[in-house]
């Protein structure tokens, strides 16, 4: 299929996005349109990396909730020869950042400044990261991967049910930003399902990225538009911040679980380390003999979550600035020592004053891709909150992130409510903030068997854990593992946050009787997009039904 034929496919999909039944090459994402057009790269002779990059750029158009041009993320890749690599394009703190930038004039923590102001915007990394990954592993010309996103942004697409609902919810926070309202509202009202969303400014930004690569974003007109808006609102990102930004190729973190290899993202993401640490703890328990969300299974999962998140808070940060003890944290010895502190009959207690355990005898989007040649890609990108800072750059058409909110607000400010004030993740100029994104590949004998990831902030790590446990221990289909109810524990606050109807009343009562505090979440947890690869090479896509717009496409 040549690009003119791909454009015809784009036009056909404007009215009715859909998904083909999975075969051997597969894309699954939170936008059925993006999945289908991303899979079109296979028809053009592209590989999984090409499809992943094209899909990610399309998500910037069709899934603005996590529209990644103004954000950042991580990519984990398994190559046909069984080797693996990762790409880190996490945002960075501007050069004018300082540890006290989120405190008011009296030295008190200001949550609005931390999460909802122009100061919450980190230097974006997605364009640099996608371009770097393509330069290393892509087959098709870069401009061919960007062209579909340009086409959809310029010609428009029909607003889906999920997008319409999210715009209605977020519009009150956008009203103070004229460019955001101009893009996502009509006469002050949010776009409705079926409306045509044309994003001409975003199309021009994507054209510059198409024609000039990463320079088309970090230099020239797009950079000028970013800096102009920063200066207008009192932000601190300048041309030098954009020019200096570099994506990084890094080694993955790797572990094993019941005969499978687990390949995930290392720091500055905490996801891979925490996931492998929890799997190491779980391996000594016969989880498969316990019922899904039974008292025994839920208790041991919560205790493993509690300990991994305490280590996350205490030790993890940007590996270019902090000496992260990766080998120790993912070691069997560390798991064995922690195992001694877990009681099967009583919940532990989390405390902001201590990381010691009593010894008793604890908005983002993800896409997954596989191709017929054996390459697999897990890619998670984010703006942080839904629609990030809610600020659309005037004239550039994309939303800015609010990722500075992932830095610890003030050193020493660790509270029972969940604020963390440990040193490794404090704000420093040019530093990458800690993340929970957990794009993960599960392989056997070097061959991919599962590609998985999810949005959801700190809940991401536990969501990925629960899907892997559902698939490997409980032997569920990938769709059933995704559909299973989820819960989350993150050390502080000291409680289990559970989806509605996660636990029966009997199970909840039994968990509370051994010391767990349980709170019902106001929102469903995560949105997993996963692919299972069978022994014969065929694929089964799992699309999280917690969100309505996702879809899979295959070739």
- pLDDT, mean of residues 44-65: 97
**Nearest 10 degrees: CA dihedral of 121, 122, 127, 130?**
-130
The separation between the first and the last C-alpha atoms of the chain, rounded to the nearest angstrom, is 12
* pLDDT band per the 50, 70, 90 thresholds, residue 476: very high
Query: What is the reported pTM?
Result: 0.93
Identify the DSSP state of 366: E
For residues 222 and 216, the answer to whether their CB atoms sit within 8 Å is yes
Angle, alpha carbons 434-436-442 (nearest 5°): 130
Helix axes 200-212, 220-233, angle to 10 degrees: 130
Q: Which of the four pLDDT bands, split at 50, 70 and 90, describes residue 413? A: low
With CA atoms as reference, report the closest residue to 525 among 493, 484, 480: 484
- Kindly state the average pLDDT of the residues 497-524: 97
Secondary structure of 229-293 in the HEC alphabet?
HHHHHCCCCCHHHHHHCCCEEECCEEEEECCEEEEECCCCECHHHHHHHHHHHHCCCCHHHCCCC
* pLDDT tens digit sequence for 84-96: 999 999 999 999 9
Dist CA 103 CA 110 (whole Å): 5
Instruction: Give the C-alpha separation, 125 to 523, whole Å.
Output: 28
**Model confidence at 12: pLDDT above 80:** no
CA distance 430 to 422: 18
- Which residue numbers are catalytic? 364
Confidence band of 105 (pLDDT split at 50, 70, 90): confident
Helix (H/G/I), strand (E/B), else coil: 72 = strand
Token pair for 412: 């020493």
Provide the token pair at 397.
Answer: 């058409």
Q: Based on C-alpha coordinates, what's the Rg of the chain?
A: 22
Residue 5: predicted pLDDT: 45
Q: What is the DSSP string of 181-242?
A: HHHHEETTEE--TT-EE--HHHHHHHHHHHHHTTHHHHSHHHHHHHHHHHHHHT----HHHH
DSSP state of 388: T
Residue 107 has a CB neighbour count (10 Å cut-off) of 8
Question: How far is 356 from 362, CA to CA, in rounded Å?
Answer: 12
Model confidence at 422, pLDDT cuts 50, 70, 90, reads: low
Helix 142-155 / helix 200-212 crossing angle, nearest 10 deg: 170
Give how far the C-alpha of residue 555 lies from the chain's centroid of Cα atoms, to the nearest Å.
Answer: 25
Q: What is the pLDDT of residues 431-447, one digit of tens each?
A: 999 999 999 999 999 99
The secondary structure of residue 480, as a DSSP letter, is: H
Length of the chain: 555
CB 430 within 8 A of CB 404: no
Q: How far apart are CA 162 and CA 78, in angstroms?
A: 32
Would you place residue 67 in the very low, low, confident or very high pLDDT band (cuts 50, 70, 90)? Answer: confident
Please give the domain boundaries of the chain with CATH numbers for all domains. 3-74+87-247+366-425 (no CATH), 250-348+435-554 (3.60.20.40)
Residue 108 has a pLDDT of: 87
Q: What is the pLDDT of residues 259-317, one digit of tens each?
A: 999 999 999 999 999 999 999 999 999 999 999 999 999 999 999 999 999 999 889 99
* Beta pairing partners, 78: 84, 376
Using DSSP bridges, classify how beta strands 518-520 and 496-498 pair: parallel, antiparallel or unpaired.
parallel
Token pair of 431 as six digits: 């530093």
Q: Classify 549 as helix, strand or coil.
A: coil
């Amino acid at each position: 299929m040549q690009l003119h034929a791909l454009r015809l496919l784009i036009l056909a999909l404007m009215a009715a996005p859909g998904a083909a039944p999975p075969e051997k090459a597969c894309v699954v994402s939170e936008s059925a349109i993006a999945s289908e057009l991303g899979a079109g790269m296979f028809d053009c002779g592209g590989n999984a990396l090409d499809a992943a990059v094209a899909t990610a750029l399309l998500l910037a158009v069709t899934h603005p909730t996590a529209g990644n041009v103004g954000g950042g993320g991580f990519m984990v890749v398994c190559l046909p020869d069984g080797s693996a690599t990762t790409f880190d394009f996490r945002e960075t703190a501007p050069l004018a950042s300082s540890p006290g930038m989120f405190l008011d004039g009296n030295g008190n923590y200001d949550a609005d400044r931390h999460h909802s102001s122009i100061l919450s915007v980190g230097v974006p990394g997605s364009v640099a990261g996608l371009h770097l990954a393509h330069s290393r592993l892509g087959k098709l010309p870069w401009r061919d991967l960007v062209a579909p996103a340009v086409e959809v942004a310029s010609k428009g697409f029909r607003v889906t049910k999920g997008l319409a609902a999210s715009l209605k919810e977020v519009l009150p926070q956008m009203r103070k930003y004229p460019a955001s309202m101009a893009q996502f509202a009509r006469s002050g009202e949010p776009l409705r399902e079926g409306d045509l969303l044309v994003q001409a400014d975003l199309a021009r930004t994507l054209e510059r990225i198409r024609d000039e690569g990463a320079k088309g974003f970090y230099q020239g007109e797009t950079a000028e538009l970013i800096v102009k808006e920063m200066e207008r609102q009192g932000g601190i990102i300048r041309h030098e911040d954009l020019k200096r930004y570099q994506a990084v190729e890094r080694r993955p973190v790797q572990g094993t679980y019941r005969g499978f290899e687990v390949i995930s993202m290392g720091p500055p993401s905490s996801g891979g380390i925490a996931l492998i640490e929890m799997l190491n703890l779980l391996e000594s328990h016969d989880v498969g003999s316990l019922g899904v969300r039974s008292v025994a299974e839920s208790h041991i999962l919560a205790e493993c979550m509690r300990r991994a998140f305490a280590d996350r808070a205490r030790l993890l940060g940007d590996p270019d600035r902090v000496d992260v003890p990766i080998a120790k944290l993912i070691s069997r010895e560390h798991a064995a020592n922690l195992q001694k502190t877990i009681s099967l009959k009583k919940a532990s207690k989390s405390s902001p004053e201590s990381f010691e355990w009593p010894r008793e005898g604890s908005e983002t989007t993800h896409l997954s891709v596989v191709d017929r040649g054996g390459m697999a890609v897990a890619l998670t990108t984010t703006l942080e909150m839904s629609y990030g800072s809610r600020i659309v750059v005037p004239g550039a058409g994309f939303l800015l992130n609010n990722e500075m909110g992932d830095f610890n607000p003030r050193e020493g400010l660790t509270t029972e409510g969940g604020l963390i004030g440990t040193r490794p993740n404090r704000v420093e100029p040019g530093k990458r903030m800690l993340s929970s994104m957990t794009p993960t590949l599960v392989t056997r004998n070097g061959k991919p068997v599962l590609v998985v990831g999810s949005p959801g902030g700190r809940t991401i790590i536990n969501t990925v854990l629960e899907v892997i446990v559902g698939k490997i221990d409980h032997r569920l289909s990938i769709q059933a593992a995704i559909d299973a109810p989820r819960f989350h524990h993150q050390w502080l606050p000291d409680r289990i946050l559970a989806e509605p109807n996660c636990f029966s009343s009997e199970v909840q009562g039994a968990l509370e009787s051994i010391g767990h505090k349980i709170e019902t979440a106001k929102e469903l947890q995560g949105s997993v997009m996963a692919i299972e690869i069978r022994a014969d090479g065929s694929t089964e896509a799992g699309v999280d039904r917690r969100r309505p717009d996702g879809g899979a496409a295959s070739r």
